[in-house]
């Protein structure tokens, strides 16, 4: 089991113990009063700290942006959906509900292999909608590193747009890890680690119109190229690698009009998990 070890201040006479998994906040005042309803039966004793003679009144916060010693046991959530289902806006709204030390987001988009390593179809057009287009070993490793308490750094993907200078993205460990992308249910190493699965959907015609608008505005693709990719790459990939997993998801969100109800459900699921830490 991976352990994250950091030493913090110790109160004179206090017998240090630790709740695991990490409580969001535990205050220790004076001679070791314990607050916030800490459940002693899950405490872990660290005898090597018992003889400390530091006399200080302090608050010790057990959270990912502070000092603590705890085995990592995060909740891992998978979020997938077809092109144009609204994953980006849904995820932005989700992350707005939580602090960065509560939720870590890992997006499959940032794990595309270089263009020269991508597979072309029979017409010589690169197909970015195959599992082989993703560096899935790196994708999986970053998930495992976060789950074991290590931060990760990844260069963002610029969708082969030369005018878009990719920037490094640093993600820190958190009690909740969200793995997002078309193939998160297809990659067994990720699927087998998921505690909760979310499928984001919308009417197919609406999704296509959203993709045409997005790819034209953000990525500079002409409409005929977008429609070619949709018919020959996007839809075949969704049918083969994504939609068979829809029935196994704990939450299916229809974003044809609004994702608000589905978002509220997911926020409640995550908040309950955080409250129980």
Residues of the chain with CATH 3.40.50.300: 75-275
Higher pLDDT pick, 158 / 33: 158
> For the purposes of burial, counting CB atoms within 10 Å of the CB of 260, is it exposed (0-12), middle (13-18) or buried (19 or more)?
exposed
What's residue 159's pLDDT? 62
State the pLDDT confidence band at 72, using cuts at 50, 70 and 90.
Answer: low
Compute the mean pLDDT over every residue in the chain, rounded to the nearest whole number: 79
What's residue 224's pLDDT? 95
C-alpha to C-alpha distance for 24 and 62, rounded to whole angstroms:
6
What's residue 217's pLDDT? 85
What's residue 218's pLDDT? 81
Quote the CATH superfamily of domain 75-275.
P-loop containing nucleotide triphosphate hydrolases (3.40.50.300)
State the pLDDT confidence band at 164, using cuts at 50, 70 and 90.
Answer: low
Token look-up 């039966």 returns 41
For residue 216, which of 226, 208, 203, 229 has the smallest C-alpha distance?
226
State the pLDDT confidence band at 52, using cuts at 50, 70 and 90.
Answer: very low
What's residue 219's pLDDT? 79
Summarised one tens digit per residue, pLDDT across range 17-47 is: 333 333 333 332 332 333 333 333 344 343 4
Decide: 211 and 83 in contact? Cβ < 8 Å: yes
Q: Averaged over 77-84, what is the pLDDT?
A: 97
Q: Averaged over 202-231, what is the pLDDT?
A: 93
What's residue 195's pLDDT? 97
C-alpha to C-alpha distance for 222 and 229, rounded to whole angstroms:
11
The contacts of residue 247 (CB under 8 Å, 6+ apart) are none
Q: Averaged over 81-99, what is the pLDDT?
A: 96
Judge whether residue 110 has pLDDT over 80.
yes
What's residue 150's pLDDT? 95
Q: Which of 31-40, 129-138, 182-191 has the lowest mean pLDDT?
A: 31-40
What's residue 2's pLDDT? 37
State the pLDDT confidence band at 155, using cuts at 50, 70 and 90.
Answer: confident
C-alpha to C-alpha distance for 29 and 27, rounded to whole angstroms:
6
Judge whether residue 124 has pLDDT over 70.
yes
Q: Give me the helices (H) in the chain, please.
A: 87-95, 136-147, 188-191, 204-218, 223-229, 235-237, 260-275
What's residue 189's pLDDT? 97
């Amino acid at each position: 089991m991976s352990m994250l070890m950091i030493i913090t201040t110790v109160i004179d006479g206090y017998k240090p113990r630790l709740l695991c998994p990490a409580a969001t906040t535990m205050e220790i005042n004076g001679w070791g009063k314990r607050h916030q309803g800490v459940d002693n039966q899950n405490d872990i004793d660290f005898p090597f700290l018992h003889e400390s003679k530091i006399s200080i009144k302090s608050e010790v916060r057990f959270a990912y942006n502070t000092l603590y010693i705890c085995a990592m046991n995060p909740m891992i959530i998978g979020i997938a959906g077809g092109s144009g289902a609204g994953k980006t806006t849904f995820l932005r709204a989700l992350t707005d509900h939580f602090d960065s030390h509560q939720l870590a987001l890992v997006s499959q988009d940032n794990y595309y292999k270089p263009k020269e390593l991508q597979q072309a179809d029979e017409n010589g057009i690169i197909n970015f909608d195959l599992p082989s287009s993703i560096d899935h070993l790196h994708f999986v490793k970053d998930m495992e590193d976060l789950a074991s308490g290590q931060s990760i750094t990844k260069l963002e993907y610029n969708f082969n747009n030369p005018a878009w200078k990719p920037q490094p993205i640093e993600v820190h460990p958190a009690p909740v890890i969200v793995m997002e992308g078309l193939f998160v249910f297809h990659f067994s190493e990720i699927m087998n680690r998921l505690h909760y699965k979310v499928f984001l959907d919308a009417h197919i015609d609406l999704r296509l119109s959203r993709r045409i608008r997005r790819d034209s505005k953000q990525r500079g693709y002409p409409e005929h190229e977008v429609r070619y990719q949709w018919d020959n790459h996007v839809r075949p990939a969704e049918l083969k690698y994504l939609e068979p997993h829809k029935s196994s998801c704990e939450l299916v969100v229809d974003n044809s009009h609004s994702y608000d109800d589905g978002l509220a459900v997911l926020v409640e699921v995550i908040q309950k998990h955080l409250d129980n830490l």
